[in-house]
Structure 1
Amino acid sequence: MSAETTDTLPHLITIVGRGVPSNYEITVEGKIELIGADPLEEATVVTDHAAEGAVDIGVMRFRFSGQMANVQVGDWNGVPAPDSPSTPGVHIDYGAPARDGT
């Protein structure tokens, strides 16, 4: 990731899978970009202001600008958080410094 990308997309959102196929949808007021993975390989749809996809195990990371507008996560049955312990964890870091791979 270039320093320019980190400057223009200063915030980080991390989706952490819990070993169960789950869906996520993220909407931001600014721009959003998947980092450290190939969107086609991960079956992730990313537009200028939104990202959606599935996660089972592992971590999906996105850099974004502006404010978080909406995050929705649900398990494989469609049960949303916090009603299902299987939904992915979501971590939002405003002003997160870039690290290797993020």
Structure 2
Amino acid sequence: MPADTTETLPNLVTIVGRGVPSNYEITVDGDIELVGADPIEEATVVTDHSAEGAVDTGVMRFRFSGQMANVHVVDWNGVPAPDSPSTPEVHIDYGVPPRSDNN
């Protein structure tokens, strides 16, 4: 029987694209997994403690345990936040129960 994601991965990071191709890298000191999307379709690399990929429009969500260790986002020219208004928005929420629709 699979472990309850709420207890094992209680935290949520959301990356919101701003309409231009951008890259992101996130690292946590616990475990991380992509929520509601296929990593191959989204060209997202997820390891035990980190995730990286690209976002243009839409939202990427990851559940994680532990604390956020690092967030790095850059726009299509490689300009990092906060120097570029085109980098994705990043929201980090601790202790968030999963949505009933798995997104």
TM class, shorter-length: over 0.9
Query: How is 1:1-102 mapped onto 2 (pairs within 5 angstroms)?
Result: 4-99=4-99, 100-102=101-103
Structure 2, unpaired ranges of 5+: none
TM-superposed CA distance for 1:3, in Å, is 7.0
* Count of equivalent residues: 101
Structure 1, unpaired ranges of 5+: none
RMSD between aligned alpha carbons? 1.1
In 1, Cα distance between equivalents of 2:50 and 2:29 = 9
1:22 maps to a residue whose letter is: S
In 2, Cα distance between equivalents of 1:18 and 1:38 = 21
In 1, Cα distance between equivalents of 2:88 and 2:102 = 21
Scaled by the length of structure 1, the TM-score of the pair is 0.96
1:43 maps to a residue whose letter is: A
TM-superposed CA distance for 1:12, in Å, is 0.2
Structure 1 outlier segments of 4+, above 4 Å? none
TM-superposed CA distance for 1:72, in Å, is 0.2
% same residue: 82
Cα deviation per residue 1:9-34 (whole Å; 9 max; x = unaligned)?
00000000000000000000000000
Scaled by the length of structure 2, the TM-score of the pair is 0.95
TM-superposed CA distance for 1:5, in Å, is 1.4
